[in-house]
A and B are shown apart, each in its own frame.
Chain A
Amino acid sequence: MNSMVDVLVIGGGVAGMEAAGQLARSGYSVILAEKEPLTGGHLKNWYHLFPDRRDGNEVGEYLDNLVKNKNIEIRNNTCITGITGRKGKFTATASDGQVVEAEAVIVATGFDLFDSRRKEEYGYGIYPNVITSADLEKMFRNGSVKLADGGVPARIGFIHCVGSRDEKVGNLYCSKLCCITAVKQAMEVHEKISGVKTFCFYMDMRMGGAYYEEIYREAQEKYGVSFIRGKVSEVSQGYNGRLVIKAEDTLAGRPLRMELDMVVLMAGMEMSDAGEILAGKSSLRRGENRFFSTADNHTASNRSNMKGVFYAGTCTAPMNITESISHARAAVTEVVSYLREKKQRDE
């Protein structure tokens, strides 16, 4: 199958859907290539969103409606593995041999969640009651937070910065969203289980978003979530089957040991595998953090080093949904100017 369109959008998550939808609204023909059987990306797995804790499906529906446009052809199960060409015409190939030709490309390959098994000392995949933030969202969606044996947890600990800010796993950067996610999830746990005790183990509370600090405050005031400043060094399982964590309570200046029923690892964001593959089979540049590096941090955060290839969303850095949507819209502005200028030149 060989097709020519105005814009190829690679990745059907939040940023890709937003970009494709906005381009289609302006009359451009778009192919939206998604490697999974369905579009929607990580948003599909998220129950409630911060800061207002609305249902993630509402944003999902908005995006689904946006991409229902005659100018968009959605190609699911299509993993674009390479882009070649120069300004004017790009040829993208998919793993199944499909070829797409486009005048411009938006890369929106997003992020992958850090594989928490890599932090072996936290016991994910070893102890059944050590779960990730994504696993907890699934439990919320299914309606109940349960231990592996079906019991109800009385004490839950949240470990911040799992796979972020950690030289040991090669990720020096902060994933930006996991602090607020921990606060949100702790509050939701209280709503699901009355009388539960929750503890967030943090190095720094990074509440850098609109209404984040207010939620942090609400978590203390309304739900009594405890915040302990110290990075957990390890999780083990005690003789009674409960989990035991070790940290230093750095503000008290003493080591702290605590038994917990459930431990939730706040998994960070990493450059996606799909992005890595694409980077390997194109001349797109990446930064030290492995995400795609933009032409200019401030003034061209949608431009790549290939003229005519643009970026949208978390393939360039951790971002929340609001930021991903804004970044995607900004990418559309860049593409529209680029295509107009190109047309003028060609005429």
Chain B
Amino acid sequence: MNKFGFTLSVPRVIDYDKNDRSVADLIAAKEPTFRLCIECGTCAATCTAGNFTDFSLREINVLLRRGENEAAAEKINRCMLCGKCILVCPRGVNTRNVLFIARETLSKTNGHERL
């Protein structure tokens, strides 16, 4: 009898060593300002998509940086590429380009054909 039930739940840890962070590296190579995000959330505060759906560019950025690509891919199409976030980002992240490249890269990555 399994007294602890560990097998019942999928671990929710971010497995940093197993995760594939090459998507983030590719984005940073094409749009170096991706590295400048400090997760302040100003973009998400002003984002129309984020006010109605479960979407935050800040969250996408951190998910990609940790290699949680699937979670990012699931949400990233909710962005309308309107560019409001560029106007407010205090770090000068070229947000729209980050999103654009992220979408492109994620759609080319195995297992994310749904994009």
Interchain CA distance A248-B38 in the complex, whole Å: 13
Q: Closest residue to A249 on the B side, CB-wise? A: B41
Interchain CA distance A250-B50 in the complex, whole Å: 12
Interchain CA distance A233-B41 in the complex, whole Å: 8
Q: Are B42's CB and A253's CB within 8 A?
A: no
State which of A166, A203, A204, A232 has its C-beta within 8 Å of the C-beta of B45.
A232
Interchain CA distance A247-B46 in the complex, whole Å: 8
A135 contacts B by Cβ under 8 Å: no
Interchain CA distance A12-B89 in the complex, whole Å: 37
B66 contacts A by Cβ under 8 Å: no
Q: Are A231's CB and B56's CB within 8 A?
A: no
Asked if A246 meets B46 with Cβ closer than 8 Å, knowing A161-B90, A168-B90, the reply is yes
Q: Are A230's CB and B40's CB within 8 A?
A: yes
State which of B40, B89, B90, B92 has its C-beta within 8 Å of the C-beta of A250.
B40
Interchain CA distance A249-B42 in the complex, whole Å: 10
Q: Closest residue to B84 on the A side, CB-wise? A: A233
B20 contacts A by Cβ under 8 Å: no
Interface residues on A, range: 20 to 34
B72 contacts A by Cβ under 8 Å: no
Q: Are A255's CB and B90's CB within 8 A?
A: no
Asked if A121 meets B45 with Cβ closer than 8 Å, knowing A248-B58, A250-B58, A255-B51, the reply is no
| B89 cross-chain contacts in A, Cβ below 8 A | 167-168
Q: Are A248's CB and B92's CB within 8 A?
A: no
| A256 cross-chain contacts in B, Cβ below 8 A | 45
Interchain CA distance A231-B88 in the complex, whole Å: 10
Of residues 206 through 241 on chain A, the ones whose CB sits less than 8 Å from some CB of chain B are 229-234
B25 contacts A by Cβ under 8 Å: no
Interchain CA distance A265-B18 in the complex, whole Å: 43
Give, as a whole number of angstroms, the nearest-CB distance from A126 to chain B.
17
Q: Are B46's CB and A234's CB within 8 A?
A: yes
Of residues 245 through 268 on chain A, the ones whose CB sits less than 8 Å from some CB of chain B are 246-250, 253-256
B44 contacts A by Cβ under 8 Å: yes
B31 contacts A by Cβ under 8 Å: no
| A242 cross-chain contacts in B, Cβ below 8 A | none
Of residues 18 through 51 on chain B, the ones whose CB sits less than 8 Å from some CB of chain A are 38-47, 50-51
Q: Are A246's CB and B92's CB within 8 A?
A: no
| B50 cross-chain contacts in A, Cβ below 8 A | 248, 255
Asked if A248 meets B90 with Cβ closer than 8 Å, knowing A234-B46, A253-B56, A255-B51, the reply is no
| B88 cross-chain contacts in A, Cβ below 8 A | 121, 168, 233-234
Interchain CA distance A234-B94 in the complex, whole Å: 20
Give, as a whole number of angstroms, the nearest-CB distance from B72 to chain A.
13
Interchain CA distance A275-B91 in the complex, whole Å: 27
Give, as a whole number of angstroms, the nearest-CB distance from A165 to chain B.
6
* The 8 nearest A-B residue pairs measured at CB: A248-B41, A233-B45, A248-B44, A167-B92, A250-B41, A233-B46, A231-B40, A230-B41
Given A168-B92, A230-B45, A248-B43, 9 additional A-B pairs, CB 8 A: A230-B42, A231-B42, A231-B45, A232-B45, A233-B46, A248-B58, A250-B44, A254-B56, A255-B56
26 contacts between A and B (CB under 8 A): A161-B90, A166-B90, A167-B89, A167-B90, A168-B88, A230-B41, A230-B45, A231-B41, A231-B90, A232-B45, A233-B42, A233-B46, A233-B88, A234-B88, A247-B42, A248-B50, A248-B56, A249-B41, A250-B39, A250-B41, A253-B56, A254-B56, A255-B44, A255-B47, A255-B50, A255-B56
User: Residues of B at under 8 Å CB distance from A?
Assistant: 38-47, 50-51, 56, 58-59, 88-92
